[in-house]
Structure 1
């Protein structure tokens, strides 16, 4: 029986999640259809712009993304504290960038509520909006519905565009987060669409290398500040509120060198001495390459140490997390 999304997310265990949505049947998100010879490449920009637009509104940061021909990946950080720090006015401003106003909230904003009961009802609605603005399901609902409608309109068809619900994978520690980010950023290289990450457009690593923000940052005027990709904070992580606890330059070097090995179509080797980040992670050359190539296929539901997986299972009402034995040798 399918579990509710609430039973697959535990913010007390981790704020980092890997999200995947795939097109149904032979529907094309992007790329070129070999049968019809029709190109859907322009939809990649739709995806990136909408991802960045929504994460500007939601209390959710993007750490990594990759837009592929029939699916996409997101690695996100749920910043629940940010949502709790917003004023009621801020919450309304953000929610109304996506949806129509509620009559009770509209009267509360105008100061024309008839009494205390109406005011309490309006504040309860705003509290619900606040919770939804840090909810992964609501983020993905907005993203997938927008793309499905736009693609179906362009294809002049109706019906389902996405293959059921999105998949989520909890990333329970820093090693899992970084490995998953690299796996996502290396998707175009691994699929042999490009030769290197420097050419991997519509991925977060391409954006970080070329310092290229999405088009929405240039076109869309929002009543609140634009958010960049979640930052790398290196040795400052003990003092920072949030961020990826590694050096950006070390990460880019690691991903670029890994991409060369993967694209060479033969057994490769990484120089551990030139990649200090591998020592920080406590991973061997072979373990890292295994993660970078098979992270999404080999691990499911959650990734971390046995203790972390046990805690996550308990908090999400599961008996165990599938694949925990395969993780034990690398995540210890």
Structure 2
């Protein structure tokens, strides 16, 4: 039986990843597919109260770094729903009864739920891919993996790890940009696609309130690319994909103590990583 996913109810950072079903040599994500996945992701982020901080879509897998605040006001729930589904009467999605506290609570839980967001995104992409390529059956190897991250150093290191996936795959160097990642778009256009979210989250992680935070942070990534022998990020590290929680001992202990239901899911020391 599959274990329950770790989902604290308050603001939480996540590293999300999944791989496509099939042999490792199977690369169904071409440029069209990568761009469609990004477009669908951006579409559903308008509905869900989730901040995207980093993404990288590779040929047979993807990585996302997300933040779920866990809190969303009734007014924002209604606004997000109406902006996404439209105001017209007789729409395919009838407008919920917002006067009902039960309805508000149901949508609050849904729109702040990372699992619900990922389910909708993956199912929508699978339907599009199968229709486009005249195929049937499941597309993803398994349900997506999620790793809880502490803010600060853990968050920053994970973003670097995600953005440097193309470097580890040998398709990125100081002379090439990989445009199916947030870093690649930033390097190509000098405008970060997730600027609003990064300004909200990175200054606190870096201990700085400067608006120049994004540029300084990505300078460190550029330095790693120039010096590709930097082992910390130029080689694959299983901690970012196989752990359940990554952070300081204090953070992990507090998390497990506060959400006692997490403890049964932590089966071994490899499920957590202190950094």
Same fold (TM over 0.5): yes
Cα distance 1:211–1:142, how it changes in 2: closer, same or farther (>3 A)? farther
The TM-score normalised by the length of structure 1 is: 0.68
| 1:162-241 mapped onto 2 (5 Å cutoff) | 162-196=140-174, 199-209=177-187, 210-211=189-190, 228=195, 230-232=197-199, 237=204
RMSD, aligned α-carbons: 3.3
Shift in Å at residue 138 of structure 1? 1.2
Which residues in structure 2 correspond to 1:1-332 (within 5 Å)? 1-5=1-5, 8-12=6-10, 15-26=12-23, 28-30=27-29, 40-81=30-71, 83-84=72-73, 86-87=75-76, 89-94=78-83, 96=85, 100-102=92-94, 105=96, 108=97, 120=100, 123-196=101-174, 199-209=177-187, 210-211=189-190, 228=195, 230-232=197-199, 237=204, 247-262=213-228, 267-268=229-230, 289-290=231-232, 293-297=235-239, 300-314=243-257, 315=259, 316-318=261-263, 320=266, 322-323=268-269, 327-328=273-274, 331=275
Change beyond 3 A, Cα 1:323–1:29: farther
Shift of 1:326: 8.5
Deviations 1:110-164 (A, max 9, x none): xxxxxxxxx53xx422431222111101110111011111111122111100112
Instruction: Flag the structure with larger Rg.
Output: 1
The CA distance in 2 between the partners of 1:229 and 1:29, in whole Å, is: 31
CA separation in 1, counterparts of 2:39 and 2:118?
A: 14
- SS state at 1:164 partner: coil
Distance in 2, matches of 1:213 and 1:232, equals: 10
Gaps of 5+ in 2: none
CA shift in 2, pair 1:148/1:28, >3 Å: farther
TM-score (normalised: structure 2):
0.81
Check whether the contact 2:46–2:84 (CA below 8 A) recurs between aligned residues: no
